[in-house]
Amino acid sequence: MNYKVIKCRRKTLCLTIGREGDVIVRAPLTVKDGEIEAFVMRHASWIEKRLISRSADPKFKDGEMISLLGKDYTIAPALKRARIVGDTLFLPEEGREEALALLLRSMTRERMGRLLREISETYGFEYTSLTVTSARGRWGSCSTRKGISFSFRTAFLPDPLAEYLAVHELCHTRHMDHSAAFWREVGNILPDYAARRRALKGYDWAVRCL
């Protein structure tokens, strides 16, 4: 397996996958090459899964398919702004990713706002605001003031997973932790939350794109 080694002032070995799918090992200055190779081999399964996931990343090229809000669209060129017409997602040739991100922000605000309202009305939750962010590495968050945020990349998720995220953050308005009480609250609303949570891991690529 090919990998790149970066030695720096750190105490432990660390693995990451670069934007181009390259395997990067960050290592302490004094670590030996054999130890680095053994470390990579121990994590071969993890690397393989991440590379497979990375290969599923959308490229946003004309003619390719992309799934938004659980529906598939074919990408086609547009003159100006990003927009959806029927089963086609039109993206401008210039600033394509920026235009798509703007569209996803709007889609996320509409869908997650609707889910928050519906779930809150049904189960008596209270939240103070909804913010759509560019956050990477996390789908959503809830502040101590009950303000809820979601990454615009949630637009890549199908409805059942978006619903799980909405329930998750609303339950944080009552439990600001991941205690047993928190998960009971989630389970009372979504008995299959564990399966949805596992399925969410298949969308790790989404929090890296754009």
Q: What is the pLDDT of residues 147-194, one digit of tens each?
A: 999 999 999 999 999 999 999 999 999 999 999 999 999 999 999 999
Radius of gyration of the chain (CA): 20
Q: What is the CATH number of the domain that holds 172?
A: 3.30.2010.10
Length of the chain measured in residues: 210
Counted domains in the chain: 2
pLDDT at 56: 53
The verdict on 118 and 174 lying in the same domain is: yes
pLDDT level of residue 51 (50, 70, 90 thresholds): low
Task: Tell me, yes or no, whether 127 lies in a domain.
Answer: yes
Q: Are 161 and 196 in contact (CB under 8 A)?
A: yes
**What single-letter amino acid sits at 118?**
E
Mean pLDDT of 63-85: 89
How far, in Å, CA of 118 to CA of 169, rounded?
14
pLDDT level of residue 52 (50, 70, 90 thresholds): low
How far, in Å, CA of 31 to CA of 27, rounded?
7
Tell me the pLDDT tens digit for each residue of 78-126: 878 899 999 999 999 888 889 999 999 999 999 999 999 999 999 999 9
pLDDT at 84: 93
Tell me the pLDDT tens digit for each residue of 21-50: 678 898 999 999 889 988 888 888 877 776
Task: Tell me, yes or no, whether 158 lies in a domain.
Answer: yes
Q: Which domain holds residue 50?
A: 4-55
28 Cβ contact list (under 8 Å, min separation 6): 7, 8, 9, 10, 11, 12, 13
pLDDT at 192: 95
Q: 105, 65, 103: which is closest to 84 by C-alpha?
A: 103
The verdict on 113 and 199 lying in the same domain is: yes
Of 202 and 177, more confident: 177
Task: Tell me, yes or no, whether 80 lies in a domain.
Answer: no
pLDDT at 143: 95
DSSP code of residue 162: H
pLDDT at 115: 97
Task: Tell me, yes or no, whether 14 lies in a domain.
Answer: yes
The verdict on 130 and 40 lying in the same domain is: no
How far, in Å, CA of 4 to CA of 35, rounded?
14
Task: Report residue 55 CA to chain centroid gap.
Answer: 15
The verdict on 120 and 25 lying in the same domain is: no
pLDDT at 54: 56
Q: What's the whole-number average pLDDT of the chain?
A: 89
If you average pLDDT over each of 6-20, 54-68, 159-173, which comes out highest?
159-173
pLDDT at 85: 93
Task: Tell me, yes or no, whether 68 lies in a domain.
Answer: no
Q: Are 166 and 172 in contact (CB under 8 A)?
A: no
Neighbouring C-beta atoms of residue 163, cutoff 10 Å? 20
Task: Tell me, yes or no, whether 50 lies in a domain.
Answer: yes
The verdict on 112 and 195 lying in the same domain is: yes
